[in-house]
Amino acid sequence: MEELFGVIGDPIAHSMSPEMHNAAFGELGIRSVYGKFHVTKEDLTDGIKGIKALGLRGCNVTVPHKTAVMPLLDEIDPLAEAIGAVNTVVNREGKLIGYNTDGLGYVEGLKKIVTGELSRKTVLIIGAGGAARAIYYTLASLGVNKIDLTNRSKDKAVDMISSCPASIQSCYLDLQEAEANLINYDVVIQTTSIGMSPNGHQSPLKVGRVKQGAVYSDIIYNPLQTSFLKQAERSGAAIQNGIEMFIHQGALAFEIWTGQKPNIALMRNVVLKQLGG
């Protein structure tokens, strides 16, 4: 029988997940369909009940529901619990289990561009929102032990550091201090919404001198190159935009649902085509 999947969020019209997953299902000969569901905050409880009632096999959860969905599920994976957000739900015989594949998806992408062992790198994360938390806790759980944070609001970053379950060395820097100390970091990860289209010319900080062999990454993929990435490239860093994170979080969700590995190259092509690249 055909199985149903989908993504729930508000707004949802521009989600690229349906095309990406449907292409991957098709290529593996899996007779499943992935749709998008516009679910408002008010309707979230009913929307989640609907997964069981309608027999969906799984779904992705996106903004603004990643945290609010948690108490509505039957079980939460420990990493998602630590991150405090769920982006993937699987329906196992009527039991809804929540996972977070954002952080692991990000790391899968990052591994392609970082040379040498990730755990030995000195990392700076810019931002302290949901995406930053997923990346920070995932890197910490994988043994990266020097991850500093910079954010406009100090209290959010400090709270993130103090509630990290893994043992880790982290300092908070304000944005000016971070800008002045970029030379110390092997990997710098931009997770704020600054620089997202139509504000592609904005950047959370100026990138001047970078460490030899440094990798600068931005989780934004629209535009494909933010001002932050352009500056980093001019300074000699290797750069990566948010497409790899998007594809790999989807691929990990796909694996949780089906037990099969999707074709990553195909998923990338579908996403690039949608972005007009």
Q: Is residue 195 a contact point for ligand ATR (CB under 6 A)?
A: no
Give the residue, chosen from 131, 135, 214, 253, that forms a contact with ligand ATR under the rule CB under 6 A.
131
* Measured distance CA(87)–CA(256) in Å, rounded: 12
Among 41, 49, 52, 66, which one carries the catalytic annotation? Answer: 66
230 is catalytic: no
Residue of minimal CB distance from ligand ATR?
129
Beta bridge partners of 126: 150, 190
Total residues contacting ligand ATR by CB under 6 A comes to: 15
**Cα(148)–Cα(130) distance, rounded to whole angstroms?**
16
Query: In the complex with ligand ATR, which residue's Cβ is closer, 106 or 185?
Result: 106
User: What is the distance between the alpha carbons of residues 101 and 7, in angstroms, rounded to a whole number?
Assistant: 14
103 binds ligand ATR, rule: CB under 6 A: no
Which of 17, 141, 170, 192 is close enough to bind ligand ATR by CB under 6 A?
Answer: 192
Q: Stretches 111-119, 185-193, 244-252, 253-261: which one binds ligand ATR (CB under 6 A)? A: 185-193
Residue of 48, 80, 89, 128 interacting with ligand ATR (CB under 6 A): 128
Nearest alpha carbon to residue 212 among 179, 234, 184:
184
Nearest CB to ligand ATR, comparing residues 30 and 83: 83
> Is 151 an interacting residue with respect to ligand ATR (CB under 6 A)?
yes
CB 6 within 8 A of CB 257: no
Q: Would you give the binding string for ligand ATR spanning residues 199-218, x where CB under 6 A is met?
A: -----x--------------
- CB nearer to ligand ATR: give 131 or 253: 131
Nearest distance, CB of residue 26 and ligand ATR, angstroms: 30
Minimum distance, C-beta of residue 177 to ligand ATR, in the bound complex (Å): 15
CA-nearest of 216, 193, 77, 90 to 137 is: 77
Query: What distance in Å separates the CA atoms of residue 180 and residue 133, rounded to the nearest whole number?
Result: 23
**Which 3 state secondary structure label does DSSP give 173?**
strand
Of the CA atoms within 13 Å of residue 203, those in its CB half-sphere come to 19
Position 72 contacts ligand ATR (CB under 6 A): no
CA triple 133-189-63, angle to 5 deg: 45
| H or E, element range at 95 | strand 95-99
Distance CA 84, CA 154 (A): 19
Q: Which is nearer to ligand ATR, 156 or 211 (CB)?
A: 156
**Nearest CA among 247, 253, 268 for reference residue 32:** 253
Residues 157, 236 contacting (CB under 8 angstroms): no
Question: Tokens representing 276?
Answer: 């007009």
Closer of 152 and 230 to ligand ATR (Cβ): 152
230 counts as binding ligand ATR under rule CB under 6 A = no
Q: Could you tell me the smallest distance in angstroms from the CB atom of residue 217 to ligand ATR?
A: 14
| Residue positions annotated with a catalytic role | 66
**Which stretches of the chain bind ligand ATR, using CB under 6 A?**
127-132, 151-153, 156, 191-194, 204
